[in-house]
Amino acid sequence: MTEIERLLPISEVCQMLGRGRASLYRDIKSGKFPQPVRLGGSSRWPLSEVQAHIKKLIEARRGEVHAP
């Protein structure tokens, strides 16, 4: 059986990143953060995409790759 990916609401994404909603949406607009999945009138992000973004930030800090 295929596992269903968990979709996170903006409140959880902001908490994971330690950022506010406005800065998150600025990063989305500039292409630095993935676009949300739209469900009705709400936005959700796949957990794996948020985790991949955090991993890129950590690697960039270490000089391994450039930040998104």
CATH number for 29: 1.10.238
- Ramachandran region, residue 14 (left: φ > 0; alpha: ψ -120 to 50; beta: rest): alpha
Residue 67 lies in a domain: no
Q: Which residue has the tokens 């930030």?
A: 57
Confidence label for 1 from pLDDT (cuts 50, 70 and 90): low
Q: What is the pLDDT of residues 39-54, one digit of tens each?
A: 999 999 999 999 999 9
Residue 67, pLDDT score = 53
Our count of domains for the chain comes to 1
Query: Which among 56, 51, 14, 8 is positioned nearest to 32, based on CA atoms?
Result: 56
- Domain containing residue 30: 7-61
From CA 41, how far away is CA 38, in angstroms rounded?
7
Residue 68 lies in a domain: no
From CA 46, how far away is CA 24, in angstroms rounded?
15
